[in-house]
Structure 1
Amino acid sequence: MLSPRAPAPIPRRRLLSISAPSPGRISIGDSNRISFSRGGEKKRGRISSADTPARMATDSALTKLAPLEAILFDIDGTLCDSDPIHFCAFRELLQQIGFNDGIPITEEFYSANISGGHNDDLARSLFPDMDHDKAMQFMDDKEAFFRKLAPGRLKAVDGLHDLCRWIEGYNLKRAAVTNAPRANAELMLSLLGLTDFFPVLVIGSECDRAKPFPDPYLKALELIGASPDHTFIFEDSASGIRAGVAAGVPVVGLTTRNPAKALSDAGASLLVNDFQDPKLLSVLEELKPVTENGQA
């Protein structure tokens, strides 16, 4: 039997509950300023003087990107909170084959050893003594199980669709960049209603090297014709953040599931809870491009 090492405990939210989006939205008023509303209370997307240290930390890496030209998005855990579904699929199928002497994997093990990984790498790390083709067949079976579970369970991260409308309003370039298999990525974009929103979809396994190498993000920049000097990335995993940093593009880390410290240590320029986070709205206010009529 295969017995994975026991990872150190990692404080994090539980994976098994997928919360419904909470009230709140990004809106563009007559002044084209971003506002943040939740439960009837509206707040402007500005950071107060009390938040000066956080503002200073983001200024150097993000606000220098103005005017913003493009935004690149990871998919799993970034556009949608898909980790609970992946965790369930891995846990059930690994238990079926007697992994770890048949003891179900924990959320901590999943976060430390699986989340954000590329399937080829995961096959080698999870099954070092197994024939690689057989290990990859397990990964293919797991992805098929994920696709079976996803419809009806996959939920967008809070504020995603309002952010997408803001991006369309300013005609920003964009691409989805993922280590997920193409079938998974296309299914998730379809379930989220974003198939037409992304003109470019880059798959890690279709590049020379997947994340954490920079190749997928460099390919996306090339395909959409964007400069890294006016682009930033949304990511939720340390692996993805390292890929973005290696590509020379600032990364905003979403603390959807993975520990904030891990994302910060990987090089994230800013950490946000979701796409409604006031810290993010403040940065977008600073970066919004100038429109054809000369107004921001």
Structure 2
Amino acid sequence: MPNSSGPLATPRTASASLLGASIWPILNTTPLLVHWRFPSPAPEGAAAQPRSSTGLYAAREAEILRRSCSGKFSKTLRVEVPTSICSASASFQTLSAKMPEIIPRSIPPLGSLKAVLFDVDGTLCDSDPLHYAAFRDMLQEIGYNGGVPITEEFFVKYISGRFNPDIGRFLFPEWEVAAQTKFTEDKEAYFRRMAANQLEAHKGLHKFCEWLKKKNIRRAAVTNAPRLNAEQMIAGIGLGDFFEHLVIGSECTRAKPFPDPYLTGLTALGLPADQAFVFEDSPAGIKAAVAAELAVVGILAGNPRASLLEAGASFVIESFDDPALWKALGEEDSSQREL
């Protein structure tokens, strides 16, 4: 396996409207953190305060955003890339663009609701601590970041909810693809060994699933997890026969944060987006669902509430027992009622 004894790649930041041609071919397939700043709504008579939002994109997608976006908020995009893939000749120019405001969709009323689509990792069960432990242990073992364990903050910011090929490129931009793939596959095998006896369903999940079945609401699981992981997690929490369809990001044209997995799920169900909604625990997953024109309920499982709302969640719940969920469904007493 390639040597990773060097220091952890520190993101290099640049305000950019057009990435220099000398680095563009590399960045085209490298995951980037794209930030924008824009004025927050302020009370009447008060000055707007700048705030920030962040998303993970490939450079080509950031450029598409730059060219196509329009809206009432003026946001400045800032792109972060690992220093290890930046050459001295890389050049950047200032980017200012009109970015569209994300207006979260409301979940369909119960009379129109035909299906619910669930993310798996972190949404059905709190698997992120195990993923963090697997990455931390394996990266430390190969001397990543000088052998200093990665922090939970690093995991949440750069790894959680991402597609494995993107993670491999981000962590090891100088490695061959085969070596990146081998590392992430070994990490997933390590995760499955830990998860075999350590995963529990989120509070209230089984009661909510029974409610869906009682209401004849259809179900699909849509995940960036490898199929082996997803099937093990779903079966391990007792939902092996619950979902009609299981959509795997790597089996679609593009994985989350692109909309393809959720569009695939809607196609499999034969339903339009306005007759379904999604449960997600990561900004990347929420962005994918929003791009598929689906309403999203965020679930707190490691990512900050603010990041889920900024990504486009309609609202955020702490568990499937949360009264906010049942109120939105028009079943305010269901959170207290045995089904």
The two structures have a TM-score, normalised by structure 1, of: 0.77
- Cα 1:231–1:63 change in 2 (3 A) is closer
Deviation of 1:2 after TM superposition, in Å, equals: 4.6
Matched, 1:245 2:290: yes
Match of 2:190 in 1: 145
Larger strand percent: 2
Number of residue pairs the alignment of both structures matches: 237
Deviation of 1:64 after TM superposition, in Å, equals: 5.0
Match of 1:4 in 2: 9
Contact 2:108 2:274 in 1 (8 A): no
Match for 1:274 among 319, 325, 329? 319
Query: For 2:277 and 2:266, how far apart are their aligned partners in 1?
Result: 10
Task: Report the RMSD for the aligned CA atoms in angstroms.
Answer: 1.8
- 1:172-229 deviation line (CA, Å, top 9, x unaligned): 1110000000000000011011111001000000000000000000000111112211
Q: What letter corresponds to residue 156 of structure 1 in structure 2?
A: A
Contact 1:95 1:104 in 2 (8 A): yes
Contact 2:221 2:246 in 1 (8 A): yes
Contact 1:65 1:229 in 2 (8 A): no
Deviation of 1:230 after TM superposition, in Å, equals: 1.2
Q: What letter corresponds to residue 220 of structure 1 in structure 2?
A: G
Match of 1:96 in 2: 141
Q: What letter corresponds to residue 146 of structure 1 in structure 2?
A: F
Larger helix percent: 1
- Cα 1:149–1:215 change in 2 (3 A) is same
The aligned runs of 1:60-79 (5 Å cut-off) are 61-64=106-109, 66-79=111-124
Structure 1, 157-166 or 225-234: larger mean CA deviation: 225-234
Aligned identity (percent) is 51
Deviation of 1:3 after TM superposition, in Å, equals: 1.4
Deviation of 1:285 after TM superposition, in Å, equals: 2.1
Which is bigger in relative contact order (C-alpha 8 A, separation at least 6)? 1
Match of 2:310 in 1: 265
Query: For 1:146 and 1:67, how far apart are their aligned partners in 2?
Result: 39
Query: For 1:206 and 1:164, how far apart are their aligned partners in 2?
Result: 26
The two structures have a TM-score, normalised by structure 2, of: 0.67
Q: What letter corresponds to residue 155 of structure 1 in structure 2?
A: E
Deviation of 1:6 after TM superposition, in Å, equals: 7.5
Match of 1:21 in 2: none
Contact 1:65 1:231 in 2 (8 A): no
Larger Rg, first or second structure (1 or 2) = 2
Q: What letter corresponds to residue 154 of structure 1 in structure 2?
A: L
Superposed structure 1 runs of 4+ greater than 3 Å apart? 63-66
Match of 2:227 in 1: 182
Deviation of 1:5 after TM superposition, in Å, equals: 2.5
- 1:52-76 deviation line (CA, Å, top 9, x unaligned): xxxxx98x61255742110000000
Contact 1:178 1:185 in 2 (8 A): yes
Match for 2:160 among 108, 115, 124? 115
Return 5+ residue gaps in structure 1 as ranges: 8-56, 288-296
Contact 2:109 2:330 in 1 (8 A): no
What SS is found at the alignment partner of 1:176? strand
Return 5+ residue gaps in structure 2 as ranges: 1-5, 13-102, 333-339
Contact 2:117 2:278 in 1 (8 A): yes
Query: For 1:156 and 1:70, how far apart are their aligned partners in 2?
Result: 20
- 1:72-124 deviation line (CA, Å, top 9, x unaligned): 00000000000011011000000001000100010000000100000000000
Contact 1:211 1:239 in 2 (8 A): yes
Deviation of 1:129 after TM superposition, in Å, equals: 1.1
